[in-house]
Amino acid sequence: MSFVITTPLYYVNDKPHLGSIYTTLICDSIARYKRLTGADVIFITGVDEHGLKIQRTAKNKGVEPQFHCDEISDIFKQNWKNWDITHNKFVRTSSQKHEYIVKEFYNRVKKSDDIYMGVQKGWYCVGCEEFKDNPDNSPTHKCPIHQKTLEWKNEENLFFKLSKYQSQIEELIKEPAFIQPKERRNEIINFVSKGLKDFSISRTNVSWGISVPDIDNHTFYVWFDALLGYVSAISLDMKEPSLDESIDNGWPADIHLIGKDILRFHAVYWPAMLISAGMKVPKKVYGHGFLTREGQKMGKSLGNVLDPDILLSKYGKEAVRWYLLKDITLGQDGDFQNKRFVDIINNDLANTIGNLLNRTSSMSRKWFDNRVPSNEMLSKDNSLELYAKKTVENYFRHFNSYELDLAANVILSLAINTNLYLNEKQPWTLIKDEKNIPLVSNIIYNVLESTRIVGLLLLPILPNLSSKIDQQLGLLYNEKGSWKKQLDWGKLIHESILPAPNPVIEKLEYE
């Protein structure tokens, strides 16, 4: 059974920002987790390349739209490589294969008698690529998101009969599992309750787009085109992609993970379009929050934009992954605070996890000839074993509910509890008496075994740190192996040789 997860298809007006990195890292961790549990994962990401904004951006740069899109698309691909993103589908909406899917889908919707020609009048935001129903009362009619003046449009467009699907959308969005978190679901329920209006799906003043079949001078509205990237991505490997092939090979998506600002398109317009075309709707749409910096909205005008490339080169991918996934509750807004970031990495990763491994493996090398000691005294009432088993149970429950911050925190709790166990048992004192060697052996084994489980649980979140922990324990695991079975207590092999010490993560410095 396939598990299909998607990021948004990122708009290529500019290179990736921290928000797009955040979304993609979440999807990457979920995809890694699902693979480890045995799922056949289709992880879709890519870029949305059409529309008036791209057309104007390219013109301002003095280049053709395709050249601009090629350039930014390559930057996205390189970024995902730099961040070790494990997607297996990267879709570009300017590809010919995607165009095949869009036109086939359009013909299906047309056969459902859901398309008609009309006139669209209203204030339009080029940045959002959408009409604004209720602009503010200022004379300039500014977009509340981009703070740029809206443009008045009065043109002939094709329309999709969204209003026809009012009752079906109402029933769909009432399902608690469809839209998460509940705050986002309530927003959509409120929006739909006001009555759905038909929306235009073509433009006449945009040459950079997919042409509408048999209608001159019309190109598809960017949102009608882009949403279908999730479908065309599944059939990218086919010589002649089709909707049926996409359906056979994985559609519908199990989860669309998106920013809350584009929730309406994914949770209302998209399902209605799919129903019209006789296709299944996605199983879940998850709208995450926005990122701020030191309590302020990030913006070029404020000079406080966090460049993900600089973060990567300065701190490394593991540190950024841990902060974004552990410190921010999925669905809520998050704030990037530099002091808090450094403190969390140093306390959680360097001190709690890294130091636990370093000092315990050092004791084991010193006292047990560079080997993992025996666990012959392992008893049924081993408190650390019981805590580890409970941790694994909670970890699976949280990850299955996409509560990545809680999953990360139960890992940290296991490491904290293991440190407390070590300090309570004080093997450095017991070892002074030779008769306590079997007891010390058991204590050290328990701590190393608990640390091994910490490392395994980190694999979907911090794959590189997980691998380093394994290496320091003399272990080698394969992501495609029996990961869940390896989480059973007692898998650390007695007498395994421990390699020379090598810190698994360095402390960060304040700047």
Q: How confident is the model at residue 376 (pLDDT cuts 50, 70, 90)?
A: confident
Tell me whether strands 334-336 and 219-220 are parallel, antiparallel or unpaired: unpaired
pLDDT single digits (tens) 293-341: 888 777 655 666 788 999 999 999 999 999 999 999 999 999 999 999 9
294 vs 160, higher pLDDT: 160
Interval 355-371 mean pLDDT: 95
pLDDT reported for residue 20:
93
pLDDT reported for residue 120:
74
Is pLDDT at 464 greater than 50 in this prediction?
yes
Nearest to 225 by CA among 250, 208, 205, 245: 208
Q: How confident is the model at residue 222 (pLDDT cuts 50, 70, 90)?
A: confident
Does 337-486 match 2-289 at the fold level? no
Interval 468-493 mean pLDDT: 82
Is pLDDT at 199 greater than 60 in this prediction?
yes
Rounded to whole angstroms, the Cα distance separating 375 from 364 reads 13
Interval 184-204 mean pLDDT: 95
Do residues 448 and 361 lie in contact, with contact meaning Cβ atoms separated by under 8 Å? yes
pLDDT single digits (tens) 278-296: 999 999 999 999 998 888 7
Q: Is 146 annotated as a binding residue?
A: yes
Q: pTM of the prediction?
A: 0.92
**All structural domains of the chain with their residue ranges:** 2-289, 337-486
pLDDT reported for residue 144:
61
Interval 64-84 mean pLDDT: 96
Do residues 269 and 124 lie in contact, with contact meaning Cβ atoms separated by under 8 Å? no
What is the CATH T-level fold of the domain 2-289, as seen in this structure? Rossmann fold (3.40.50)
pLDDT single digits (tens) 46-60: 999 998 889 988 999
pLDDT reported for residue 509:
86
Q: Taking all residues of the chain, what is their mean pLDDT, rounded to a whole number?
A: 91
pLDDT reported for residue 259:
94
Q: How confident is the model at residue 377 (pLDDT cuts 50, 70, 90)?
A: low
Nearest to 162 by CA among 197, 188, 192, 213: 197
At 487, the amino acid letter reads: L
Q: How confident is the model at residue 482 (pLDDT cuts 50, 70, 90)?
A: confident
Q: Give the phi and the psi of residue 477 in degrees, each rounded to 5.
A: -120, 155
> Which range is least confidently modeled, 43-57, 100-114, 365-379, 466-480?
466-480
Interval 189-208 mean pLDDT: 93
Q: Is 69 annotated as a binding residue?
A: no
Q: Is 128 annotated as a binding residue?
A: yes
Range list of β-strands (E), 277-391:
285-288, 291-293, 296-297, 334-336
Interval 228-249 mean pLDDT: 89
pLDDT reported for residue 479:
45
pLDDT reported for residue 135:
47
pLDDT reported for residue 8:
97
pLDDT reported for residue 240:
79
pLDDT single digits (tens) 264-277: 999 999 999 999 99
Considering the domain 337-486, what is its CATH architecture? Orthogonal Bundle (1.10)
Q: How confident is the model at residue 155 (pLDDT cuts 50, 70, 90)?
A: confident
pLDDT single digits (tens) 384-436: 999 999 999 999 999 999 999 999 999 999 999 999 999 999 999 999 999 99
> Which range is least confidently modeled, 78-92, 95-109, 129-143, 383-397?
129-143
- Give the burial class of 366: count Cβ atoms within 10 A of its Cβ; 0-12 exposed, 13-18 middle, 19 or more buried: exposed
Q: Is 125 annotated as a binding residue?
A: yes
Cβ neighbours of residue 187 closer than 8 Å, sequence gap 6 or more: 263
Bridge partners (DSSP) listed for residue 115: 160
pLDDT reported for residue 478:
46
